[in-house]
Structure formats: structure tokens, C-alpha cells
Homo-oligomer: A and B are copies of this chain.
Amino acid sequence: MTYCVGLKLNAGLVLLSDTRTNAGLDNISTYRKMFFFENPGERVIVIMTAGSLSVTQTTLARLNEAIEHPDADEQNSIMHASSMLRVATIIGENLNRTRRDIAEQCRDLNQQASASMIVAGQRKGGDMRLFLIYPEGNFIEATDDTPFLQVGEHKYGKPILDRVVTPETSLADAQKAVLLSMDSTLRSNLSVGMPLDLAVIERDDFRVSQRRRIMDGDPAFMAMSAAWSTALRDSFVKVTI
């Protein structure tokens, strides 16, 4: 499985993904699930992926091919699209087509191959936007009422987000929130694993403002995780029923 989470805040977009991929429990690999598409100063798009690796890799290959193709245009290239809505639509179309192609290939095996994606970004002249794209290519968008979107193993890490994230949350607090959300998921579910990819896109920066890979054993992440455990245990002692 996977855990990816995206936050859309007044100050910018904060994105976090894990890297664990598995085909059965005995075949575990590390694959990046966060992909950057950038024309610094003009547009920035980040895609995070969950689901079948063959579906997500092929979809991304097709998106890249369309960008580099001599006929690349507003209709097929996310780097030429005139709005983030068009970007989400192109990604949805590619995801759905790839998913159908692979499902057709797998038909005899009665196997499912599916994937979903989180797409975040901003282009000059437009607002920041954050979408969750379903396997069928349709999508939903984060709003002020629901400023975060998740794909993969989303349940373990949802309570902390429900409690602390609002559109007013600062970018620093938002990074802490997604890392704590991931920390709860890592502790409770083996199918989500280190290293992590963290990215921040500040409003109207039109580039990936910060990106960081957090490796297993990262001292700052371990310290935060330990401090959070201690704080939770202390809180547990204090609360009465």
C-alpha cells in the first residue's frame, strides 16, 4: 500500500508521500511516489501516486511523453495546459486510459490493477489547487472546509489531521501535521514505509519551494516521533474519565 497526503492552505501546498511498494508481502521495494513538473516562475505541478505500480508508472510515462512530443498542446500536455483544472483532466484521462489498458491485459487472470493520484499545483494567473483523481479519471478538489486529501492507507493518519489542520495552518505546522499523520500510519501499518518525500509549494511561488527526502533513521524525524509519543503518553495520563 501507500500513504500520500496533500494539504491546501492559505499559505501554500504541503505534500508528503511514503515510498513502499509491495507485490505480496514478500516482495517489498522502494519507489518514489512524488513527481515534480516545474517551469519555475510559470507553473508547478506535483503528482503523488497510490495503487498498482504498473498503472502509475505507465500513466506518468504517457504524461511525460505528451509533454515532450512536438505536438504538445493545451489538450494533452500538463505543461501546456491553460489551467490546473485542465491539468487534472489530462491526468485523469491518462490514468483512466492506462488503467483500462492494463485491466484488459489482466482480464484472463481476473486481477485488478488500479491507481489513484493526488495532484497539486499552481500556474501563473491561477489559484493553487489540490485534486484527488480517482482510477476512473474523475476527481474531487480540496476546499476550505476540507483542506486535505489522502490516498492509500488514509485512516490511521486522519484523526490528527481532522483535529489540527485548517486553511489558516502555517506551512511549518502543516509539515508537522503531515509528518505526525505519517508517523501514526508507519507505526500501525507495515505496508507504508520510509523513506518519505516532503514538498512545500508556497503560494504564488510557482516552483517547488522546498523538497526533502527523509531517510529511515533521520534524526529530526525520529526526535519528532519520540517527542510525539511522549506527549501522547503524557496527555493520556492527564486525561480523566
Contact = CB atoms under 8 A, between A and B. Distances in A.
Contact of A239 (B153, B158, B189, B227): B227
A180 B228 contact: no
Nearest to A185: B159
Contacts of A28: none
Nearest to A184: B159
A158 B240 CA distance: 20
A200 interface: no
Contact of A162 (B159, B175, B179, B188): B188
Nearest to A159: B184
Contact of A159 (B164, B173, B187): B187
Contacts of A235: 228, 231-232, 234-235
Q: Which of A153, A221, A235 has the most CB of B within 10 A?
A: A235
B163 A233 contact: yes
Contacts of A134: none
A224 interface: yes
Interface of A is mostly: helix
A236 B164 contact: yes
- Number of copies of this chain in the oligomer? 2
A115 interface: no
Interface in A209-228: 220-221, 224, 227-228
Interface in A53-106: none
A235 to B, nearest CB: 3
Contact of A238 (B221, B227, B229, B236): B227
Contacts of A188: 155, 158-159, 162
A176 interface: yes
A181 to B, nearest CB: 10
A164 B241 contact: no
Nearest to A237: B173
A51 to B, nearest CB: 18
Give the 7 A-B CB pairs with smallest separation, nearest first.
A155-B155, A231-B235, A159-B184, A224-B241, A158-B188, A227-B239, A176-B241
24 contacts: A156-B156, A159-B159, A159-B188, A160-B232, A160-B236, A162-B187, A162-B188, A163-B187, A163-B229, A163-B236, A164-B232, A173-B236, A176-B236, A177-B236, A179-B241, A180-B239, A221-B241, A224-B239, A227-B238, A227-B240, A228-B235, A231-B238, A231-B239, A235-B235
